Chain A
Amino acid sequence: MTDNPVSGDVERTAAPRTLAEKVWNDHLVVKGAEGEPDLIYIDLHLVHEVTSPQAFDGLRQAGRPVRRPDLTIATEDHNTPTVGIDQPIADLTSRTQIETLRRNAQEFGIRLHSLGDIEQGIVHVVGPQLGLTMPGVTVVCGDSHTSTHGAFGAMAFGIGTSEVEHVLATQTLPLKPFKTMAINVEGTLRPGVTAKDIILAVIAKIGTGGGQGYVLEYRGSAIRALSMEGRMTICNMSIEAGARAGMVAPDQTTYDYLKGRPHAPQGADWDDAVAYWDTLATDEGAVFDAEVNIDADALEPFVTWGTNPGQGVSLSDTVPDPSVIADHNERAAAERALEYMDLAAGTPLKDIKVDAVFMGSCTNSRIEDLRAFASIVKGKKKADGVRVMVVPGSARVRIEAEAEGLDKVFEEFGAEWRFAGCSMCLGMNPDQLAPGERCASTSNRNFEGRQGKGGRTHLVSPVVAAATAIRGTLSSPWDLDADAPAGAPAAAASDEQKVGA
């Protein structure tokens, strides 16, 4: 891979390097020959019930043990019900997957946080929450949204079930180096504009295939100003731009989030770690294979209108007209998307009525996301006929939210306050849209049928979801300000990005 500098060259370590190159190089077990993959060591392997059963089956068939149970952790998330969690799981196949994970974890000696456990939750919420996700490490999971963990300056990416089996057996992966792309986001987000809007704008700009083969490094003043939750939201959706991984260089915000968490380094280890982490940021003069610039000052609340995450526009805009799209494949995709979404070109996005609002998923279900949603809906009632579901990312987030009284805010608003899991993001459990239902969703994928067969998804930020739940049509906090009588406090001002974790 001659055009490919990520793995770098051990002899050239004096040359300026990117964050991604540094982490890659420090995990090289065997440098691959020209055109062959490198063998990369994996620091942390996250496991859930959906993509692991066949991997454990493979180990069993080959008589192989799990090489490092102490670098592996499992949780139940994709299938878990979000109500009645003390009852047996009604759906037989869901129950089978979960019971299979429990048997496998016991047989192979893997730590598992089951439904009902205080550390159970969406795998990408659990890792950071426990302090297992940290800068300069490699993280994999049989889930494409593993890119989330890159927010810490980790190299984190989703893998398939064969690779899950491979990591279980060897704690390594044969991988070809990725190319690097800098996503420079300079400026200051306006109130009501969030990390979610940044990443939706990035995907709309580069397309669902634009990041293919790249690690994206999010840089610039707007990224530095984000909390860890905001950075996780951005890195989470790197995969929706086609990239395997997204990264943000670690800084004081990262260290403040991590320090004191159960599995964060302690004592002298902490000092050693920070000394190393401080060396990870991309060197001055390092060259990226591609660069993209986003102006944070100009960003508005964003929303998708179509059936892939790249089909998004500002909420103040109208549904685009496919006939003006030059590329015939994209034009056909847009036409098909509008048909599926039952939308007409030229319709103002803000005129679109929704049936449901989903607040949750590995993209936006952390405590800060719930606080942002609550800050908008507090003291208000949801629009008539709109179903609002709030699903925390983990059991711990749920407890934390209840300690702050957020559950009361949601219930008084008329929302359903659920237990932790992936829920309506992908509708593997009973949380699904009915055919034809339209949902404003804080999740990550607006694919056909993703949230239930025939369901229609508009991807939005937590504060846009909240404003939409209030007005019943796609809306942002800016619209609430416009609705408010003169002199009333501005709703948008309460959307603080930098809430402590």
Chain B
Amino acid sequence: MEKLSVVTGVAAPLERSNVDTDQIIPAVFLKRVTKTGFDDALFYSWRQDPGFVLNQPVFQGAQILVAGPDFGTGSSREHAVWALRDFGFKVVLSPRFGDIFRGNSGKQGLLTGVVPEEDIEKLWAAIEAQPGVEFTVDLETRTVTVGDLTVAFDIDDYTRWRLMEGLDDIGLTLRNESDITDFETRRESWRPTTLPARAQ
């Protein structure tokens, strides 16, 4: 996983709330078995509309998405993160995220920063005043800067550290392998096992 500390890039506004993962990537794209190449699927339905924000030339190559509250609610599909990442986004800012989406993001190197609604509106205003303007998102200081405007975003310490170090989850856990083995030796015999299969 790539280390991430400062992202400077074009910010695109998504002035909608409750953007669920079905909108981020419709279920039909979940049939793929690869882990990359989902850029064409991002916001598939909305992108059929030529007026949709990400179809506007000024927002091509955007790396920062500024969204309304409750971004990434609904289905657990991690493809939503892959689609955002493959499209080029490194950061999503919103007043509130769906829990599973946010967890998935941290593991894939996509920064999800919680920004109070009034500040999101200021960021939207900055983009509206100057479409295509670049934001600087600094994970070290947990701030977003555009021109004279600097607003803070919230991210927990652990996810921030993980993103900054570019650390793989499984490798981290396997440092505790002896604890896992100890736990397994204590596991009660009534707890479920799938093998050997028992018939009805």
Contacts and interface: CB of A to CB of B under 8 A. Distances in A.
A209 B69 contact: yes
Interface in A159-210: 159-163, 165-166, 169-172, 174, 176, 208-209
Contacts of A166: 169-170, 173
A262 B73 CA distance: 36
Interface string B52-70: 0000000000000000111
Interface string B3-24: 0000000000000111010110
Nearest to A271: B190
A427 B18 CA distance: 21
Interface residues of B, number: 63
B141 interface: no
Contacts of B68: 329
Given A44-B192, A169-B170, A161 B27 contact: no
Interface stretch (A136-144, A384-392, A467-475): A136-144
A269 B74 contact: no
A462 interface: no
A359 interface: no
A335 B68 CA distance: 16
Contacts of B194: 44, 69-73, 111, 132, 263
Contacts of B35: 54, 57-58
B199 A170 contact: no
B186 to A, nearest CB: 10
Nearest to A425: B27
Contacts of A78: 30
A142 B179 contact: no
Interface stretch (A14-22, A33-41, A347-355): A33-41
Given A158-B76, A396-B200, A329 B28 contact: no
A161 B70 CA distance: 21
Interface stretch (B83-91, B95-103, B127-135, B144-152): B95-103
B190 A308 contact: no
Interface in A58-102: 58, 62, 64, 67, 69-73, 78-79, 91, 93-94, 96-97, 100
Interface string B161-197: 0000000011011101101100110011111111101
Interface in A376-405: 396
Interface in B106-125: 107-108, 117
A208 B73 contact: yes
A124 interface: no
Given A53-B33, A426-B27, A160 B103 contact: yes
Contacts of A54: 33-35, 78
A30 interface: yes
Contacts of A97: 31, 33
Contacts of A332: 16-17
Contacts of B75: 144, 445
Given A29-B180, A244-B100, A263-B194, A160 B173 contact: no
Interface residues of A, number: 87
B100 A262 contact: no
B156 interface: yes
Given A29-B180, A448-B45, A428 B27 contact: yes
A490 interface: no
B191 A137 contact: yes
Contact of B22 (A118, A133, A273, A449): A449
B158 A37 contact: yes
Contact of B193 (A163, A263, A272): A263
Given A143-B76, A270-B190, A447 B31 contact: no
Interface string A432-455: 000000000000010111100100
B190 A272 contact: yes
A428 B76 contact: no
Nearest to A35: B157
Contact of B31 (A73, A96, A208, A272): A96
Contacts of B96: 209, 212
Interface string A93-133: 11011001000000000010000001000000000000111
B130 to A, nearest CB: 24
Most central of A50, A67, A94, A100 by chain B CB within 10 Å: A50
B179 A30 contact: yes
A117 B22 CA distance: 30
Contacts of A244: 99-100
Task: Please give me the 5 A-B residue pairs with the lowest Cβ-Cβ distance, nearest first.
Answer: A93-B31, A160-B104, A160-B78, A265-B190, A53-B33
Given A160-B107, A265-B189, 7 more contacts: A44-B192, A53-B33, A144-B76, A161-B104, A172-B176, A212-B96, A450-B22
Interface of B: 16-18, 20, 22-23, 26-28, 30-35, 45, 68-70, 73-79, 81, 96, 98-100, 103-104, 107-108, 117, 156-158, 169-170, 172-174, 176-177, 179-180, 183-184, 187-195, 197-200
8 contacts: A43-B191, A91-B31, A131-B192, A158-B76, A162-B108, A242-B99, A329-B69, A428-B31
